[in-house]
Amino acid sequence: MSETMNYNINLDVKYGHHEIVDVPAIVAANKPWFNQTLTEVNNSVVRLGILEGDFHWHKHDNDDEFFFVLEGQLLIDLEDKTIELNPNQGTTISKGVMHRPRAPQKVVVLMVETNDIVPTGD
């Protein structure tokens, strides 16, 4: 059984332009590991992630990935260090870099990435 089968990743765009995105309502209605594409902006998407525990090590060969923490703490392991993100902090992971997001406790994260990215890695 694939490790990614436990992830609830929704690639459909839930909100069109000019629609209100109510993040607290989405968070209240879902449990970790939930990932929903919220909207599309040009050739990129904004996703909401509710995470708890470890994601798997992966990379994106052709795409950078931006993480921004709304609630909780997100740790992003790289091969040589760990980036610690707290509320209202973000970072960009460069394409081709092996990384593993993990959350010791529930965290709510916005992610910005191209609409072609495979969230589980290449």
pTM above 0.85, yes or no: yes
Give 7's Cβ-side CA count (13 Å radius).
19
Domain boundaries, the chain: 3-114
Homologous superfamily of domain range 3-114: Jelly Rolls (2.60.120.10)
Which tokens go with 30?
């879902």
Chain segment 81-110, per-residue pLDDT in tens: 999 999 999 999 999 999 999 999 999 999
The phi and psi torsions of 54 (rounded to 5 degrees) equal: -105, 135
75-107 as b/e, with b when 16 or more CB fall inside 10 Å?
A: ebbeeeeebebeeeebeebeeeeebbbbbeeeb
DSSP string, 49-96: EEEEEEPPPB--SS--EEEEEEES-EEEEESS-EEEE-TT-EEEEPTT
What integer pLDDT is reported at residue 64 of this predicted model?
Answer: 95
- Does residue 1 have a pLDDT over 60? no
> Which band of pLDDT confidence, cut at 50, 70 and 90, is reported for residue 23?
very high
59 within 8 A of 121, measured Cβ to Cβ? yes
73 within 8 A of 108, measured Cβ to Cβ? no
3-state secondary structure of 10: strand
